[in-house]
Amino acid sequence: MVKTTVSVIKADVGSFPGHSRTHPKLLEVAARMLKEAEGSIIIDSHVTHCGDDLELIMTHTKGEDNEEIHELAWNVFTECARIAKEMKLYGAGQDLLADAFSGNVKGMGPGVAEMEFEERGSDPILVFMADKTEPGAWNYFLYKIFADPFNTSGLVIDPSMHDGFVFEVHDVMEKKKIRFSTPEESYSLLAYIGAPSRYVIKYVWKKDGTVAASTSTQRLNLMAGRYVGKDDPVMVIRAQSGMPAVGEVIDPFRLPILVAGWMRGSHHGPFMPVGVDDANCTQFDGPPRVICLGFQVSNRKLIGPVDMFDDPAFNRVRDRCCELADVLRAHGPFEPHRLSLEEMEYTTLPAVEKRFKDRWEDIPE
Ligand code: F6R
Ligand code: MG
Ligand code: MG
């Protein structure tokens, strides 16, 4: 049986005004380039944006980490970056850390979430895309979706989910990975993923090995060795028939959870679920936003999208996010609005501290 691969590859290649949103011209060019590749390199595609991030959603049969797929995405990003430079858009080409493609976009700046699977009788997927936050932002939600019976009633009620799920966690600092099986090892899993700047959930599987979720774990600053904004992650989740229901997958986003990112990638802020039309970062370059597009994957075609957070059921969390934003903004440059010093090492703050390096004097005992 031919397997289906879903690849979501994203990059910020320039935006307007400032870091608010991707220009429609870039969306148009990206959509056209992917359409032209349909029938040869890929099967189907959808292009969108979350804030200043250009998002390419593609289906094909070539598996994860495929050179042709990654090269196609790279070519789209470089062409859009060229146009962005011509238009003098802000941060034109900022996430493209290499000059030329070399086999795989991982490590070159773009974020990648891919999964390969045998299509079930009917296969709903949800594609989540975020701006102004880091890959670990998904940790909380993935735990709620796949391991918390107070969120996902199927873990208790549905025999096909009752065995639980397996989580692959990456230590993005040490470049190591580990797997935890839930519910048995839930507390051990939480011991790590509760520190999302370092420990990031990369995959979730059913216990029989069927893939259920895949995320992007690229940390731009660690790659570039300098501040280049947050990573603005993406995630793909399969739903229904032995996986959490669509409603169970999106329900945790009704809670106003704080994530790292926002202005200058240096602040905690509420993670606000919005429809695509509201996926423009405004207030204090944010607040961090997440969109979710729902599709049916049908013989490798994408039926959809449905704009899942464009819904009055999510109005209240948006209001609560605004209230939290007020509380945090009142702190100005103080923690816990500003990130901890450890996390600030990956921002522009060290360059300021450097100026005062020689003015610090020892305090006599
Ligand atoms: C956050 C982000 C923005 C910028 C901010 C300053 O990921 O990209 O909040 O950090 O607008 O940008 P520069 O330094 O380019 O003026
Ligand atoms: Mg940007
Ligand atoms: Mg961004």
Per residue in 223-271, pLDDT (tens digit) is 777 777 778 999 999 999 999 999 999 999 999 999 999 999 999 999 9
pLDDT at 30 over 90: yes
pLDDT at 275 over 90: yes
Q: Who's near 61: CB < 8 A, 6+ residues apart?
A: 2, 3, 4, 5, 43, 300
Q: How many whole angstroms separate alpha carbon 94 and alpha carbon 84? A: 10
Q: How many whole angstroms separate alpha carbon 339 and alpha carbon 365? A: 31
Residue owning the nearest CA to atom 7 of ligand 1:
229
pLDDT at residue 346, as a whole number: 85
Is 207 designated active site? no
Residue owning the nearest CA to atom 10 of ligand 1:
264
Q: How many whole angstroms separate alpha carbon 46 and alpha carbon 125? A: 13
The structure tokens listed for 241 are 């028939």
Ligand nearest to the CA of residue 53, numbered in listed order: 3
Q: Is the pTM of this model over 0.75?
A: yes
The structure tokens listed for 272 are 């606000």
Q: How many whole angstroms separate alpha carbon 152 and alpha carbon 128? A: 18
Burial of 318 (0-12, 13-18, 19+ CB in 10 A): middle
31 CA distance to ligand 1 centroid (A)?
A: 26
Q: How many whole angstroms separate alpha carbon 177 and alpha carbon 184? A: 19
Residue owning the nearest CA to atom 14 of ligand 1:
264
pLDDT band at residue 220, thresholds of 50, 70 and 90? confident
Point out the ligand 1 atom lying closest to the alpha carbon of residue 232: 7
Is 199 designated active site? no
Mean pLDDT for the stretch of residues 30-49: 98
156 CA distance to ligand 1 centroid (A)?
A: 44
**Alpha helix (H) residue ranges in the chain:** 24-37, 67-86, 137-147, 154-157, 186-193, 220-224, 246-250, 315-330, 341-344, 349-355
Q: Comparing C-alpha atoms, which of 82, 85, 16 is closest to residue 51?
A: 16
Number of alpha carbons in the 13 Å side-chain half-sphere of residue 89: 26
Q: How many whole angstroms separate alpha carbon 327 and alpha carbon 337? A: 9
Query: CB within 6 Å of ligand 1 — which residues?
Result: 18-19, 132, 229-230, 263-265, 285
Where does residue 39 fall: left (phi above 0), alpha (psi -120 to 50 degrees), or beta otherwise?
left
pLDDT at residue 228, as a whole number: 75
321 CA distance to ligand 1 centroid (A)?
A: 21
Question: Which one of the listed residues 206, 227, 285, 346 is annotated catalytic?
Answer: 227
Mean pLDDT for the stretch of residues 34-54: 98
Beta strands in the chain (DSSP E): 4-11, 44-50, 53-60, 111-117, 123-131, 165-171, 176-181, 199-206, 211-215, 234-238, 258-261, 267-270, 272-273, 289-298, 301-307
Q: What is the pLDDT of residues 97-115, one digit of tens each?
A: 998 999 999 889 999 999 9
Point out the ligand 1 atom lying closest to the alpha carbon of residue 52: 8
- Out of 82-91, 136-145, 153-162, 337-346, pick the least confident: 337-346
9 CA distance to ligand 1 centroid (A)?
A: 22
Residue owning the nearest CA to atom 13 of ligand 1:
264
Structural contact between residues 53 and 131, judged by C-beta atoms closer than 8 angstroms: yes
